[in-house]
Amino acid sequence: MRRLAFIIMCLMATSLSSCNIIGAAANLFSPPQKSEPKYVPPKDKKVLVFVDDRPTPVSWEPIKRDLTEELNAQLVEHKVVQSTIPYDRLLDLRSREPNFSNLGVAAIGQKLGADLVLYVNITSFRLKEDERTPVWEGRIQTCIRWIDATAVEEDRARLWPKMIGSEGYIPEGVALPAKEESSLSYGTTLSHKLAVKMADIITKLFYIYEIPPIGSGQDTSEGIKD
């Protein structure tokens, strides 16, 4: 009771309206809301994160490394997968395999010893709206799907989503605020920021996490709704 009285006094001291006090108290005492994963990939599998830009190549090639490495780190950190294949091994295969551009996603995964592939196709990307100006406006949108790299039959390789004819699941995109910066090297910084936020959005599709209460002040990432 003493704790309750203290909390109410503190809320009143901040000059909150009575409605805000009730809402804030409800947030304090209500159980945290948790997300439900869209899909839970099979455990104890080696995963290849394959960030692609077919059929429309991106204007900034480093975003593929940035997004791959961020996804590799976050998927393992949140125990979505046990292990991932380093991006440099994918680059090595690309340089050694003359037919790489014609290989299917599952075939690429097989050649790298992966059990599963998280295929991430960049469908929209930019660092600037107009290259002639110093204003940077980072944007990225993706389409994703999980592939069983060990499947014998191609029509059984798709794990998620399974909708027939679907290119994949379209998660929320990322749109960063415009920033004026004359240095061309800012592109490297902006690419990393986009990768971190996009990787966070994608990874959260596959594990349970607490949803911050409204008004908590926690960053929920700028995004483009799907």
CA contacts within 13 A on the Cβ side of 25: 17
CA–CA separation, 49 and 104 (whole Å) = 14
| pLDDT in single tens digits along all 226 residues of the chain | 455 454 445 544 444 444 454 454 445 556 678 989 999 999 899 999 999 998 889 999 999 999 999 999 999 999 999 999 999 999 999 999 999 999 999 999 999 999 999 999 999 999 999 999 999 999 999 999 999 999 977 778 999 998 866 789 999 999 999 999 999 899 999 999 999 999 999 999 999 999 877 655 555 445 554 4
pLDDT of residue 221: 45
**Per-residue pLDDT at 7:** 47
Closest C-alpha to 42, from 10, 13, 83 = 83
The per-residue pLDDT for 167 is 87
Check residue 8 and give its pLDDT: 47
pLDDT of residue 154: 72
Is 73 domain-assigned? yes
**119, part of any domain:** yes
Q: Which domain holds residue 90?
A: 46-211
- Write down the pLDDT at residue 220: 44
Crossing angle (nearest 10°) for helices 18-29 and 2-13: 140
Residue 102 inside a domain? The answer is yes
Is there a domain that residue 154 lies in? Answer: yes
Output the average pLDDT for the chain.
86
**Predicted pLDDT at 209:** 93
Q: Number of folded domains in the chain?
A: 1
- pLDDT at position 32 is 76
What pLDDT shows up at residue 225?
44
In a domain? residue 40: no
State residue 153's pLDDT score: 77
Q: Is residue 2 part of a domain?
A: no
pLDDT score at 15: 46
* Strand-pair partners of 101: none
In a domain, 41, yes or no: no
The CATH number linked to 173 is 3.40.50
Q: Which pLDDT score is estimated for 124?
A: 96
Task: Say how many CA atoms lie within 13 Å of 214 toward its Cβ.
Answer: 4
**Residue at token pair 């990322």:** 174
Domain membership flag for residue 74: yes
Contact 187, 58 (CB under 8 A): no
Hunting for tokens 């869209």 — which residue is that?
38
Tokens of 41: 């990939």
C-alpha radius of gyration, the chain, whole number: 22
